[in-house]
Amino acid sequence: MPLNVTFILGGAASGKSAFAEKLCATAGKDKIYWATAQIFDAEMREKVSRHLEQRGSGWATIEEPETAAQVLDPLAQGHICLMDCATMWLTNHLLAEHDLEAATRELLSAIDRCQADLVIVSNETGLGIVPENKLARRFREAQGRLNIALAARADTVVQVTAGLPLVLKGTL
């Protein structure tokens, strides 16, 4: 079982990644950044560059868009791992037409086995209107189910809105 799981939830560009990075930076442990995004265009390349600059030095980065066990199984108690983010991880599986329930079970199992502290960032996608197309509705529903499962496993759940954290479960 991981030492401590913190789940950080918020809207797009809400400040959740910056909050998560600061949380990890103050933990006094070896920092691992699990990058789940895949770079397919210039806009995403720019976003990744901004995140690298914002994060600063002192992080080991693992770029792995899908396989949680590959990232989490080798981690030890002296590590803190930031998964940024569960939303991109889910998107990768959805677009690859993987079995989302099986992928989620694999992620949750890897979290349960992990020996490091974990900080998981995810988007809250259920606060808007019902999307007009089937793929977007499927994604929104899958993201909601994933967020519920991650929050249930987490010791601490924090919602970040406009850069401001609100603890929903546990303590910081």
C-alpha span between 109 and 117 (Å, rounded): 15
DSSP E strands: which ranges in 89-155? 117-123
CA–CA distances in Å: residue 72 to residues 45, 68, 83, 121, 138: 25, 6, 10, 15, 27
Tokens of 12: 């797009």
Tokens of 147: 């967020």
Does 51 participate in catalysis according to the annotation? yes
Under DSSP, the state recorded for 129 is: P
DSSP E strands: which ranges in 48-114? 59-63, 79-84
Residue from 107, 49, 115 nearest 81 by CA: 115
Q: Residues with catalytic annotation? A: 51
